[in-house]
Amino acid sequence: MGMIDKLEYTNKHELIFLDQTLLPLKEKYQKTKSYKDVADAIQKLKIRGAPLIGIAAAYGVVMGVHHYDTENRKNFEIHFYKVTETLRNSRPTAKNLFYALDRMTKVFEENIEKDFNEIEDLLLREADAIYDEDAEMCKRIGVNGAELITDKMTILTHCNAGELATGGIGTALGIIYTAKQQGKDLFVYADETRPLLQGSRLTAFELEQNEIDFDIVIDSMAANLMKDQMIDCVIVGADRIASNGDVVNKVGSYSLAVNCAFHKIPFYVAAPGSTIDFETAAGKDIEIEERDPDEITKVHGEKITLPEYGVMNPAFDLVPNELITAIITEYKVHYPPYNFGGLKQMFSAYIQTLRKEED
């Protein structure tokens, strides 16, 4: 399990990443020393998936510091905040981006008096820790979630919440890989995931590499499959989870959850604690990214609609907690009523435990 090299920070202080916009037809790696390129790659979805965005941004900070030459502490500080601000502005919804940048900022602020090289080393250690912890969280989500999966199940998933989206084996797909490793025979329907096709391009690519049987279906097929009793459960990832368990994930997740409720099929969400927004009470307060209309009006760069047509292109939608059967984290399987607000301490203590185990 876990075969795809998606992101690596090298000892030459450059980030090598797999350009996910070209998959599955081309496996092309890009190399950069610039934090601005990292922000741009996140914005363009070359690097995507909530946890992976956070990891890339953390390394973006390290590069931003490394490739800046100054002897002046004030300038060093100003530059640091410019770097983190640029990365913060790359995408608004995934909590993991802000989780990672807040951790990097904390390390910077706690060590601001130290020698510049030492600060950089500490920032690199933190970015590595964010990457390693995410891989570990995926593993544990996989184990926790696999308890809900029985032999011969057919699972539908949306977008890509797998290896390509995280530092490890993935969240929703990590559960599927773990269940398969336990000897369970599974079949997956991968929603194509309009408009950027993370399902038919990325999830399919991963499922094949992990030898899971699957079919790609168009998003609007899901209800029919449920009616025909061809789906045992739906598992998706999350970009941000509010304290009350409302989930924001790839647009289309809401209609899947409504369809699951109608057809009495479990709707599961898998995500690490780093996706939970402990400070936000409910999903309605989460900003949903609106993306370029060209993603809908163009195919392979060619316009397919008339220029005067209006377009709405939100990247995500909100699944209210009452439609979610369970939320699977690295800690456990959470059932409603969800109250993550009170769990902040527990999750940070848990991350400390992961860290100690790593050392």
- Our answer to whether residue 69 is catalytic in this structure is no
Which of 48, 66, 95, 103 forms a contact with ligand MRU (CB under 6 A)? 48
Angle (nearest 5°) at CA 165 between 32 and 249: 125
DSSP secondary structure, 162-184, as one string: BGGGSSSSBSHHHHHHHHHHTT-
Which of 250, 254, 273, 343 forms a contact with ligand MRU (CB under 6 A)? 250
Binding residues for ligand MRU restricted to 194-233, rule: CB under 6 A: 198
Contact partners, residue 156, CB within 8 Å, separation at least 6: 188, 189, 190, 191, 217, 222, 225, 231, 233, 234, 235, 256
DSSP secondary structure, 283-341, as one string: GGGSPPPB--THHHHEETTEE-S-TT-----BSEEEE-GGG-SEEE-SS-EE-SSP-GG
End-to-end distance of the chain based on CA atoms, in angstroms? 23
Contact between 165 and ligand MRU per CB under 6 A: yes
Contact between 49 and ligand MRU per CB under 6 A: yes
Catalytically annotated residue among 239, 246, 277, 317: 239
Contact between 148 and ligand MRU per CB under 6 A: no
Q: Which stretch binds ligand MRU (CB under 6 A): 30-38, 49-57, 115-123, 221-229?
A: 49-57
Which of 237, 245, 252, 283 forms a contact with ligand MRU (CB under 6 A)? 237
**Binding footprint of ligand MRU, residue count (CB under 6 A):** 19
- Over the window 312 to 351, marking each residue x when it contacts ligand MRU by CB under 6 A and - when it does not, the resulting string is ---x------------------------------------
Closest CA to 194 of 325, 320, 317, 24: 317
Which residue, 198 or 329, has its beta carbon nearer to ligand MRU? 198
CA distance 112 to 211: 48
Contact between 171 and ligand MRU per CB under 6 A: yes
Residues that bind ligand MRU (CB under 6 A): 45, 48-51, 94, 159, 161, 165-166, 171, 198, 236-239, 249-250, 315
Instruction: Give the catalytic positions in this structure.
Output: 239
